[in-house]
Chain A
Amino acid sequence: MNASAILAAIGTVAALAAVLGGILGWVATRLRSDPDALVERIDALLPQTQCAQCRYPGCRPYAEAIARGEADIDRCPPGGEATVRALAALLDREPRPVDPHYGTTRAPRVALIDEDRCIGCALCLPACPVDAIVGAPRLMHTVIAAHCTGCELCLAPCPVDCIAMVEPAATSPGRAVA
């Protein structure tokens, strides 16, 4: 095989590759991906407790991490086995038990403020991610049980440790055990 034939071969393939690369580059600029749709669908399967036990600051950041491929689907203790199974069904993966490293699944509980001990410091109010605590500085605080998701984020800021986690009352709308 002579040199010109080899050059012709290399040149043709190189030219072809360049053209294709150019087309691909142009197509890439025209087609923007919208990852939100997938994140929405994942987020819809999470229990919305906003407890951060998965090490992400809320359910939506966790959903985004799953969509990006950063986090696995077994990190949600409040969602429990049902959530892992639902996520596995959506993303076509193998279901598995919740990773105990991130917490254990328990029966749902709500926060209860012991009014005898509450000093009205209002430190627990901003800690609640769903604004379920009603109160103001130097006025009695109380948790609206129907809105409490059981995330336990209010326990730490309380300086007098007056918040306890209790079973939801029998009259509140039925809660499923995860």
Chain B
Amino acid sequence: MATGILSGKGRIWWIAALVVLCLVPLVLPRFYVYMLSIILLFGLLATSNDFPLGFGGIYQLHHAVFYGVGAYATAIVITKSGLSPWLAFLIGPIISAALGLVMGLICIRLSKLYFGMLQISLGSLVWAVVFRWYSFTGGDDGIHGIVVPDIISSYQGAYYFTLVVTGLSLYVMYRILKSPYGSVLQGIRDNPVRSAMIGVDVKRHQLLALIIAGFFAGIAGVLFVVVDNTVFPDMLFWTLSMETTIMCLLGGWLTFLGPMLGAAVLILVRTFVSTYTVYWGLALGIISGLVIFFMPNGVLGWLQDLFKHKTNLAEAKE
């Protein structure tokens, strides 16, 4: 169960972290600010992936589709329609949430691995359409030089925008997990039979999880458009979905902040290994492999288990 991370003493750490994050653009050079923006938005993406995966027990194996579709929707609205970019920022997540609903309705009748495979098939179809529809989506080239409002077009502006939006989104997702719906969702993860038996319509509740996941993935897509001003077909490719899921596992897929931590680790590893060698895939593969093998609940999960073990020992002594 997601522990109460907003309680009491914890608050001080949060405020400190927030202050540090706000000061970053004033202190660090452009490259690091950009990287931090990327970490934040991928952390949001990974958290939205973990919403159905870690907290709902749903095999969300092709999450990147919603991210890519949200980004492309935003990009296309900005570049091809006369509408305000701020409106585009809203339209993106709404479309990805709608896609989440449609794909969810199709896939929900299956469970576990089969659900994941059907989602991959549907997602691959969407990718293929985006990849080929040159006139609408720019095809293989993608869309570049997307113009965003002046306030957020500088690298600092983009960073602050990302920080605020990510923070708000995470807060909303956290509240949802702490709500009755969140409890029921985790109940469905742990025991769908039991859940049905106490009156929960399992499929309907899972469907809502997919819509929420799609929505926040779309927001992450919007953030990428703001930070990088481009979209390209690889954003919808299944390898990105695998990487996102690895982020969840690395950090701890049963914890709320695990995916964010996993995103940070993955992106930092990739960035720093790339400066020394072209073979960052090797490094990433080795690190992920080791973590998955020895710490299946991720870093935060491992820490949590350690903490629980000590609490249980203390309790047993009473």
Report if A and B associate in a common complex.
no
By a beta-carbon cutoff of 8 Å, the part of chain B in contact with chain A is none
By a beta-carbon cutoff of 8 Å, the part of chain A in contact with chain B is none
